[in-house]
């Protein structure tokens, strides 16, 4: 098990190194004049040279790459060109918002998706199966931005006109300040992401469970007199959860990198909003920081998925 984990972590670090190298090439090597791009079109030649010297762009590319990697290893992502604030502090301020949004939505879509998938698989071709299938297809076809706007119109705007301020339309309250208001501000964004994503998990779980429940060892377990609940959840669901774990790792890693659309619809100051702002202002250090952080989240999520595979299926560890 230890060797398996070490191999996966080393592979993840290799992937992350390749991504950071590609980011360096894209932003510092490929453009013909990075200093001009950063300084802006109206900058004088003196300003361009000052920017080039300040960023070390007048040095050889290999020296710039070495400094770039050294700063990344030590958590130094540079300073924003927009407000001269540390990129690390900017990311650190926005990270709790995205973490709250991603983890809360993930828990909701797992509960809804897996439970509805199991319900549909254990009652194939029944009314419950058809309801789950139709509902899943409906939300799977619904874009997240459209569902978010529908929630805002009916659960915020219309209720606000009626004098009921149950769901805030925008903003964020830290968990440490008020847990109740924290959850109240995130309920609509949570369900906007969760309902759209749970539809996929419902279909994945249903398909995998139908395949597993037809296996010989499931029939043997039933023939031994085991309770149906234990057969379904102890034997069937554990074997069928592999595709769900794979999809969950990808989705959670992407969410942690910044849910751009949902954060902007509900006015949440997370990593997605920071990424949009940095692209708009051409704030190169912040763009690089958010890209690398998103890549790190996705790599970490895939390592966690591999660990879950090893725990669920001993054959993975052996191989």
Confirm whether pTM is higher than 0.85: no
Q: What is the pLDDT of residue 151?
A: 92
Q: How many CA atoms lie within 13 A of 20 on its CB side?
A: 21
Encode pLDDT of 165-208 as tens digits: 888 888 899 998 999 999 999 999 999 999 999 999 999 999 98
Q: Which residues contact 170 (CB under 8 A, 6 or more apart)?
A: 266, 267, 268
69 close to 56: Cβ distance less than 8 angstroms: no
Alpha helices per DSSP H over the chain: 2-24, 34-39, 45-54, 61-73, 87-122, 127-140, 144-151, 158-161, 179-212, 216-223, 228-230, 237-240, 242-256, 260-265, 271-280, 284-312, 314-318
User: Domains in the chain, start-ordered, CATH in brackets?
Assistant: 2-73 (no CATH), 87-318 (1.10.3720.10)
On whether the CB atoms of residues 226 and 242 are closer than 8 A, the answer is: no
At 242-263, the pLDDT tens digits run 888 888 888 888 787 768 889 8
- What percent of the chain is predicted at pLDDT more than 90? 26
């Amino acid at each position: 098990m230890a060797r398996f984990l070490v191999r996966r972590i080393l592979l993840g670090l290799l992937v992350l190194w390749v991504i950071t190298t590609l980011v360096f090439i894209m932003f510092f090597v490929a453009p013909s004049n990075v200093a001009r791009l950063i300084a802006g079109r109206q900058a004088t030649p003196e300003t361009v040279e000052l920017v080039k010297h300040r960023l070390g762009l007048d040095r050889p590319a290999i020296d710039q790459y070495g400094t770039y990697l050294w700063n990344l290893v030590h958590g130094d992502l540079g300073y924003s060109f927009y407000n001269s604030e540390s990129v690390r502090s900017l990311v650190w301020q926005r990270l709790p918002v995205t973490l709250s949004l991603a983890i809360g939505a993930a828990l909701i879509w797992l509960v809804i998706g897996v439970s509805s998938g199991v319900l549909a698989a254990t009652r194939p071709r029944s009314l419950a199966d058809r309801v789950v299938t139709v509902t899943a297809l409906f939300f799977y076809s619904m874009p997240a931005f459209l569902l978010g706007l529908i929630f805002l119109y009916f659960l915020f705007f219309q209720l606000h006109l009626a004098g009921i301020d149950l769901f805030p339309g925008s903003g964020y309250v830290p968990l440490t300040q008020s847990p109740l208001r924290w959850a109240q501000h995130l309920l609509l964004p949570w369900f906007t992401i969760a309902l759209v994503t749970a539809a996929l998990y419902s279909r994945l779980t249903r398909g995998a469970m139908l395949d597993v429940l037809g296996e010989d060892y499931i029939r043997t377990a039933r023939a031994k007199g085991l309770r149906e609940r234990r057969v379904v959840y102890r034997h069937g669901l554990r074997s069928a959860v592999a595709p769900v774990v794979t999809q969950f790792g990808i989705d959670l890693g992407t969410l942690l990198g910044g849910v751009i659309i949902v954060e902007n619809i509900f006015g949440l100051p997370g990593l997605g909003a920071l990424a949009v702002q940095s692209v708009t202002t051409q704030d190169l250090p912040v763009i690089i920081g958010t890209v690398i952080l998103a890549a790190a989240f996705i790599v970490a999520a895939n390592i966690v998925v591999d660990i879950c595979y090893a725990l669920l299926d001993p054959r993975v560890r052996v191989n």
